[in-house]
Chain A
Amino acid sequence: MKLLPDSKQPFLSKTRIFSIIIFLFAILLPLVIVDDYFRYLLVITAINAVLVIGLDITLGYAGRINLAQAGFWGIGAYASAVASLNWGIPFWGGVVFAMILSAAMAFFIGYPSLKLAGHYFVIITFVFGIILTILFNNLLSITRGPMGLPGIPPVAIGHYQIINRVPYYYLTLFFILLVMIFKYKLINSRLGRALIAIREGEALAESIGINTHKYKIFAFTISAAIAGIAGALYAHFLSYIGPSSFTFEQSMELFTMNLIGGAGTMAGPIIGTALLTVFAEVARNFSPALARIAFGLFLVLAIIFTPKGIMGLIEKVRNR
């Protein structure tokens, strides 16, 4: 098992080749998937991947369970929707605004709650997520409550408007790439080492001179900022957002995706998201209640059998 990343890697290491293949595969995917609904699903999966990659920084690296990721996603979605609807700010400005707002909220919540023991943080993020859902439903002047916000304009690059699903998928893929590169750099930085140390032994990390509070806030804030990106992507993709998307259940699903794919790994969030988003969609069409139960079951299985999820299994097989 490898906890800290190697500082020196050959230019074409196995991991790098693997990543490039996965990415090429992702690029070619919409050429194979021609069904319009599945292309829609593809975009949703990609947006979920952004969310889970972000979540993993808190869950997989700082080792803190964060049940508010869907809430931050909602903040981002509403922020960019309001920015474009009310102030005429284009998507690119909206993304930045979404990130800032989500990050600011995370800082505000994280600063006091990350001083407390881990289980308090879980509860506080849980409660905060629920409060956000209530706010999305009731801040009528901003969110229009359950009616939601329709008519969010599409993303434009110059004069070209991204209306079709395939180009939107590529736009989202571009953001996945950015977020992955950012995360990779982050994990390999001092901040990344501090987070891993916190996950591996917080009291010890504190006693060797790591300001654990500060680094946990960093991680949580970064997770939320990335959720903000996903929020903007989501709002401009559907052109309509409503409070029913950004629920506690969604946070739980993201959490499960992260665990199943492998927390604290680069590829895990993508694998977990791809598998479970497709599964959830199929199962929901079949029976929504059953889908919930299945998710719960996956979560339990992931916790019991594979502490590092599917990526852990792959590693095990590779090391055999």
Chain B
Amino acid sequence: MALLEIKSISVFYNKIKAVDNLTLFVEKGELVTLIGANGAGKTTVLRAISGLIRPRNGSIIFKGIDITRMRPDKIVQLGIAHCPEERKLFPRMKVKENLMMGAFLRKEGVGKTLEWIYSLFPVLKERENQLAGSLSGGEQQMLAIGRALMSQPELLMFDEPSLGLAPNLVKKLASTIKNLNQQGLSVLLVEQNVEIAFSISNRGYILENGKVVLSDSVEELKENDMVRKAYLGG
């Protein structure tokens, strides 16, 4: 059984259908990307997995447990962390305080995880007493990832982490994500930067108007005419 299994969920904002009968899975240790244009429903899918919005029908299974109607804190506790698209930090809290907030539900071993995160992102250690809002865009992104890792997730979901970052930073970020994945973390990556997402992912889903129109291994997707035209610029 896959680590995460989404079985034909539909999600509505009042009358607007944002996600339409979507099915998706992530195997343990996989890096899966979810691609789509603005408004395709990517963020909504992640919010549904996190329990921040309830699907109207369908089910979401994580580690064999039905989490479709579970509270967000229970879902975090089960091992899913979410790096949201916007407002990903507490800007008026210090860097370290932001990290500690990520471990809110944990009781033990927090110090060790913090050391590990500081070793991943030494700049966060340097700036641990600085306000999160005063960090640069790239540093903020690292802090958001660090904060998400503080909950010791098995599945980490990123919502457009490359947004607003300079190209060299995007590359660095991608290799960081790949690195985490190679250490055993399963990843669901929402991206509009298709090239970078494909460069590190195993499989991909293409989302249009809330529907999965295509899903395959990244190698196959790269060769697909439709994908090349619509997402890879020819």
Q: Please list the residues of chain A having a beta carbon within 8 angstroms of any beta carbon in chain B.
A: 1, 3-4, 190, 193-194, 196-197, 200-201, 203-211
Contacts and interface: CB of A to CB of B under 8 A. Distances in A.
A205 B50 CA distance: 12
Q: How large is the interface on B (under 10, 10 to 19, 20 to 34, 35 or more residues)?
A: 20 to 34
21 contacts: A3-B90, A3-B97, A4-B93, A190-B104, A193-B100, A193-B101, A196-B93, A197-B101, A201-B87, A203-B87, A204-B90, A207-B72, A208-B82, A208-B101, A208-B104, A209-B73, A209-B76, A210-B73, A211-B71, A211-B72, A211-B73
Contact of B104 (A1, A3, A200, A209): A209
Contacts of B97: 3-4
Contacts, number: 63
Nearest to A196: B93
A204 B93 CA distance: 13
A37 B131 CA distance: 48
Contacts of A204: 84, 87-90
Contact of A207 (B50, B92, B94): B50
A1 to B, nearest CB: 7
B77 interface: yes
A196 B97 CA distance: 11
B42 interface: no
Contacts of B151: 208-209
Nearest to B84: A207
Contacts of A207: 50, 52, 72, 82, 84
B105 to A, nearest CB: 5
A200 B90 contact: yes
A206 B92 contact: no
* Interface-central residue, B75, B87, B94, B151, by most chain A CB under 10 Å: B87
Nearest to A209: B76
Given A193-B101, A207-B52, A210-B104, A1 B82 contact: no
* Interface-central residue, A197, A207, A209, A211, by most chain B CB under 10 Å: A209
Contacts of A210: 73, 104
Contacts of B84: 203-204, 207
B77 A209 contact: yes
A211 B105 CA distance: 10
A220 B120 CA distance: 40
Nearest to B83: A207
B104 A206 contact: no
A265 to B, nearest CB: 14
A208 B147 contact: yes
A205 B81 CA distance: 12
Contacts of B75: 209
Contact of B90 (A190, A197, A209): A197
Interface in B89-118: 89-94, 97, 100-102, 104-105
Contacts of B76: 208-209
A36 to B, nearest CB: 46
Contacts of B105: 209
A198 to B, nearest CB: 10
